[in-house]
Amino acid sequence: MTGFETQTYRAATSAGELVLQVRGTTPPSASLILEGMFLIDSDSAESERELARLGLEALQRARGRGRAASGDVRVVVGGLGLGITLRALLDAMGEGGVTVVEVFDPVVAWNRGPLVALNGDALRDPRVSCFVGDLREYVTQGSDAIDLFLLDIDNGPTWLALPSNAWLYSRVGLEALHARLAPAGVAAFWATERAPDFEARLADLPWGAWSYASVRTPVRPGEPPLECCVYFVVCGA
């Protein structure tokens, strides 16, 4: 990114210093870092877009294309990040409703400020509402049925920046998601890599069938692509 100005934004959080770096490229690009750990970089974020695409496809398969394609769905995006998954979802889903759950208030503020040019001001879309808080709180305290969870929490079950996020990938967390999923609803989990322990828990679920997709993400010319994983659980499958 030589020759382009980088703007750096910092915020103190309960988990340590959160840093946003926005590079003045065309189109703009950005990185989000927590206590020195890279959470996401837009230059290698194709798998975040794929999370939205693959999640919608899984819902279509589970319910039949007619209903899913109509846009009459309720979606929760867990983890706002740079707004990349949200943008891809909004561009593909039609007229449904989306709730974004983000634990860090500065991330929400940055998505309404310096990240607008990167994600097309996704939070301003009238289909979107935002819940600032922990995903566990949102899942366990609500009661409305959700058709699709798109969950990009930390870096998946094997690489956590916040130890408390292990709940999501536990049997208790999976059961809590089940309680919120509509019939034939889908929970999709982004992961840095395959996670055998998590797969064992998924295989033991009595209420849903699971699958996964490998996603190869280009990085830079001459560098090997990153290989990530998206897990799917279909309620009642």
Tens-place pLDDT, residues 216-229: 877 666 777 778 99
pLDDT at 44 (0 to 100) = 87
pLDDT at 217 (0 to 100) = 75
pLDDT at 161 (0 to 100) = 82
Question: Which alpha helices (DSSP H) does the chain contain, by range?
Answer: 46-63, 65-69, 84-93, 105-111, 116-119, 135-141, 171-180, 196-203
pLDDT at 173 (0 to 100) = 97
Residue 209 included in any domain: yes
Residue 40 included in any domain: no
CATH code of the domain covering residue 114: 3.40.50.150
**Token pair of 16, please?**
């340590």
Could you give the number of structural domains in the chain? 1
pLDDT at 198 (0 to 100) = 97
pLDDT at 69 (0 to 100) = 45
CA–CA gap between residue 89 and residue 56 (Å, rounded) = 8
Beta bridge partners of residue 160, listed in sequence order: none
String of b and e for 116-125 (b: at least 16 CB within 10 Å)? bebbeebbee
10: left (phi over 0), alpha (psi -120 to 50) or beta: beta
pLDDT at 236 (0 to 100) = 83
| CB within 8 Å of 178: residues ≥ 6 apart | 205, 207, 208, 235
168: left (phi over 0), alpha (psi -120 to 50) or beta: alpha
Residue 81 included in any domain: yes
Residue 141 included in any domain: yes
> How would residue 70 be classed by pLDDT, with cut points 50, 70 and 90?
very low
3-state secondary structure of 127: coil
Order of strands, edge to edge, in the sheet holding 6-13?
Answer: 6-13, 16-23, 29-34, 37-41
| CB within 8 Å of 61: residues ≥ 6 apart | none
Opening angle at CA 118, ends 117 and 122, nearest 5 = 85
Residue 183 included in any domain: yes
pLDDT at 129 (0 to 100) = 98
Residue 229 included in any domain: yes
Q: Could you list the residue range(s) of the whole structural domain that residue 94 is in?
A: 45-235
pLDDT at 31 (0 to 100) = 96
Residue 153 included in any domain: yes
pTM given for the model: 0.93
Average of pLDDT values for 77-85?
Answer: 97
Is residue 231 predicted with pLDDT exceeding 60? yes
pLDDT at 64 (0 to 100) = 79
Q: What type of residue is 45?
A: A
pLDDT at 100 (0 to 100) = 98
Location of structure tokens 């890599």: 193
pLDDT at 221 (0 to 100) = 67
Cβ–Cβ < 8 Å for 124, 115 = no
The pLDDT tens digits for 85-137 are: 999 999 999 889 999 999 999 999 999 999 999 999 999 999 999 999 999 99
The pLDDT tens digits for 5-59 are: 999 999 999 999 999 999 988 888 999 999 998 889 998 889 999 999 999 999 9
The pLDDT tens digits for 172-205 are: 999 999 999 999 999 999 999 999 999 999 999 9
pLDDT at 1 (0 to 100) = 42
Cβ–Cβ < 8 Å for 228, 214 = yes
Cβ–Cβ < 8 Å for 219, 190 = no
Residue 6 included in any domain: no
